[in-house]
Amino acid sequence: MLYREAGQFKTSYVADQAIFPIAQDRWSVLLLGAFAFLGVPLVAGDYLYTEVLIPVLILSIAAIGLNILTGYCGQVSLGTGGFMAVGAYAAYNLALRVPDLNLIIVFILAGAIAMLVGMLFGLPSLRIKGFYLAVATLAAQFFLEWTFARVKWFTNYAPSGSVAIGRIDLFGIPIDTPLKTYLLVLAFAVVLALAAKNLVRGRIGRMWMAMRDMDIAAEIIGIRPLHAKLSAFAVSSFYVGIAGALWGFFRLGSWEPLAFDIDRSFQVLFMIIIGGLGSILGSFLGAAFIILVPIVLNQIPRWLGLPVSTATISHVEFMVFGAMIVLFLIAEPNGLARLWATAKEKLRLWPFPY
Amino acid sequence: MLGPVLETLIGGLLTGVLYSLVALGFVLIFKASGVFNFAQGAMVLFAALTLARLAEVMPMLVAIGLTVLIMIALAYAIELLVLRHLVNQEGIILFMATLGVAYFLEGFGQMLWGSDIYKIDIGMPRDPIFILESVFPGGLLIDPSELIAAVICAVMVAVLAVFFQVTRIGRALRAVADDHQAAQSVGIPLDYIWLVVWAVAGVVALVAGMMWGVKLGVQFSLAQVALKALPVLILGGFTSIPGAIVGGLIIGATEKLAEVMLGPVLVRWFDLAGGGIENWFAYVLALLFLLVRPQGLFGERIIERV
């Protein structure tokens, strides 16, 4: 009844190809954006910011990055953690060695450095594919992790091997409260998500999808694999690098390479499986899901008043995660985003389905 | 100089055998069902944990038998609950499903059996032995448990080879590996074959877990050791049992040699905070190798059609 496009006529190709062709979608996205920027600060507390909203937003960016590579271009990567580490350490070193550089530029440059590293490790994808490539990206993961643990320059010769971020300023305003951090991260997430959405709708995105669906056929219709695969690696690593930098600066504050180990790679991979491969919206849904489940699981025994040790909880967490992934793959291999799309289809006909 | 190098080489080769054992499980399943079973590492951990805890309350042999039964039951559960519902899905979906199984097993195993470090004692001699004392001053130091592991591995490969070549089920397995549909059309039940493959992989995981358990103690990091089997796999080729063995030997030997010989050089040149290049050397080696031979050493040649 409410969600129906009847009567909305498109009179130009531009209108037909708009990012949200249905007026209700347009309004709800705008409303959601307004709520995220204006409404949330009115109601949210520090806990909600630091434990839920900021991690979800940052990892959404990483998930979008991986989704571009895996969901859109079909190249499985297990090196997300390593590329996040590149972004984080690049941002740290830029901020440390060029103190006057604007924070936004630091993050963008960090993303660019991660992009270069990502392209380097993306080169093998031209020769190998599928599971072989997945294992090859593990080389990136372990090599990068080791590099940041061992090469002293990256950690500025810190004896403990961990790095710490001091004061963070943006245009002279210190980013010191969870609210300010949230707004900055949100701005990053919105801009990057919009950019990604438009990228995948355009020529490049179609190139990636053709590559994913059948690489040889794509090659025959004139898509250069070098072009398609390396651009996917580049854009993906850029996103992942920025996410890594944000994660280091605003979530961790101080970190060592272990913060970006292989478990991080899997975490982001799970986000895009559960959220939906090949969907920007799915990246957000998946990130929210993966962050919220452990929090909820940790709360359940307390609500029920059960005395359960933290070790048991962490094991149960593992089990629930694993079971959920299998369940999702069986029930809905296309993830939460697909569920959402189905719901929208139903909503269009509601309440008169015939 | 030659002595220490040889010693490292032998140590590396013996460790490589243990990698091969883990890789073997991967190959079996991939060959027969095309599933890239990421849960193999978790199965190794689960089997080792089960064995270690069962052995605390019963004699070793009984515990081993019981663990074998449990691994077969596990294979049945995976087939029934996971694989059966994912027939005809793409390989990547199946791979991710095994990731889910891996997480589940890691949690389940530790919740069931506890997450401390346990010992497996199967009566292997632990004292290092020295060989070739007449050739090198001081002789070469060898860990006998690794030597025994190598022998067990060799026996297992031989048994598997006989199983695949001679028995009726083995022949059916090879038929399924060659072509699912053709195998099905001549009356080979796929469900049953997959169950057998997963059960065999489970038993291989048990042997691997036992050997690693003796070496490192049974703990969570065993699941991580399995990650090391992946470069072995791509080096040898996903579909080749000899590949898994040769790959394991190459990876084991080169990574130890690299650690000892290349590590200090890198540390000196780049002023590193310690070596530890073992962590990534195998992967990078496999990666470089893939650039030359994308299907691995013994893998089937990849032929693609549109």
Confidence at residue A117, expressed as pLDDT on a 0 to 100 scale: 92
Binary contact (B101, A269; C-beta < 8 A): no
Which residue out of B96, B293, B297 would a mutagenesis test of the A interface target, given it has the greatest number of A Cβ atoms within 10 Å?
A: B96
Confidence at residue B126, expressed as pLDDT on a 0 to 100 scale: 60
Kindly report which listed range (A215-224, B147-156, B267-276) carries the lowest average pLDDT score: B267-276
Nearest to A131 among B106, B231, B238 (CB): B238
A28, part of any domain: no
A96, part of any domain: yes
User: Minimal Cα–Cα distance from A160 to chain B, Å?
Assistant: 10
Kindly report which listed range (B138-147, B148-157, B196-205) carries the lowest average pLDDT score: B138-147
Binary contact (B272, A333; C-beta < 8 A): no
Confidence at residue B263, expressed as pLDDT on a 0 to 100 scale: 72
pLDDT digits (tens, 9 = 90+) for A72-94: 988 888 889 999 999 999 988 88
Q: Which of residues 178-207 of B touch A (CB under 8 A)?
A: none
A62, part of any domain: yes
> Between B293 and B249, whose confidence is greater?
B249
Q: Tokens for A72?
A: 């859109």
Residue A156 touches partner B, C-beta closer than 8 Å:
no
Mean pLDDT (chain B, rounded): 79
Nearest to B272 among A151, A312, A323 (CB): A151
Question: What is the domain range of residue A233?
Answer: 43-261
Residue A132 touches partner B, C-beta closer than 8 Å:
yes
pLDDT at B168 over 80: yes
pLDDT at A254 over 70: yes
A328, part of any domain: no
Confidence at residue A58, expressed as pLDDT on a 0 to 100 scale: 92
Q: How many CB pairs under 8 A join A and B?
A: 145
What mean pLDDT do residues B12-29 have? 83
Confidence at residue A83, expressed as pLDDT on a 0 to 100 scale: 93
String of DSSP letters for chain B: -HHHHHHHHHHHHHHHHHHHHHHHHHHHHHHHH----TTHHHHHHHHHHHHHHHHTTS-HHHHHHHHHHHHHHHHHHHHHHTGGGGTT--HHHHHHHHHHHHHHHHHHHHHHH-SS-B--------S-EEE-TTTSTT-EEE-HHHHHHHHHHHHHHHHHHHHHHHSHHHHHHHHHHH-HHHHHHTT--HHHHHHHHHHHHHHHHHHHHHHHHHHH-BSTHHHHHGGGHHHHHHHH-TT-HHHHHHHHHHHHHHHHHIIIIIHHHHHHHHTBS---THHHHHHHHHHHHHHH-TT-SSPPP-----
A52, part of any domain: yes
What mean pLDDT do residues A140-158 have? 82
> Between A166 and B12, whose confidence is greater?
B12
H helices, E strands: number in chain A: 16, 4
Q: What is the ipTM of this complex?
A: 0.81
pTM of the model: 0.86
Domain coordinates in residue numbering, chain B:
13-226
> Between A234 and A134, whose confidence is greater?
A234
Residue B306 touches partner A, C-beta closer than 8 Å:
yes
pLDDT at A298 over 80: no
Confidence at residue A313, expressed as pLDDT on a 0 to 100 scale: 77
Tally of structural domains, chain A: 1
Q: Which of residues 42-71 of B touch A (CB under 8 A)?
A: none
Residue B271 touches partner A, C-beta closer than 8 Å:
yes
pLDDT at B211 over 90: no
What mean pLDDT do residues B170-177 have? 82
Residue B283 touches partner A, C-beta closer than 8 Å:
yes
pLDDT at A238 over 90: yes
Query: What residues of A are in contact with residue B276 (Cβ under 8 Å)?
Result: 146, 149-150
Band (pLDDT 50/70/90 cuts) for residue A317 is confident
A57, part of any domain: yes
A310, part of any domain: no
User: Minimal Cα–Cα distance from A176 to chain B, Å?
Assistant: 33
The share of chain A scoring above pLDDT 90, in percent, equals 20
